[in-house]
Amino acid sequence: MPVSPSLKEEEYFHRLEMELKKKREIEEQIEVKAQERKRLKELHHMSCPKCGMKLMSLDYKGIEIDECSSCKGIWLDANELEQIMTMEKGTLNRLLKIFKS
């Protein structure tokens, strides 16, 4: 005659099953979010924040800046304004003070 599992054994295995299921769901959610971030980055990479058209990379005294092919807006990456400021003392330095205040 087979021995039936005790209630505690059933609860234990049920709990393990639920924990494993929850872990898989969390891992799946993390993967979906990562894929969505990657998709959005690829979709918007080198697109103008103002009008959405493509940006062209230009060299300005060794600093790569981005210019919109449509609205002609200029976009700078992190620290590029400071790099330009160190090269172009004077007018641009006053401009930086306006943005930082």
Give per-residue pLDDT as tens, 29-44: 999 999 999 998 888 7
pLDDT value of position 84:
80
Give per-residue pLDDT as tens, 25-84: 999 999 999 999 999 888 878 888 888 889 999 998 888 999 998 999 899 888 888 888
Per-domain residue ranges of the chain: 1-45, 55-100
Q: How far is it, in rounded angstroms, from Cα 24 to Cα 30?
A: 10
pLDDT value of position 85:
77
User: Over 60: is that where the pLDDT of 1 sits?
Assistant: no
pLDDT value of position 26:
97
Q: How far is it, in rounded angstroms, from Cα 49 to Cα 100?
A: 21
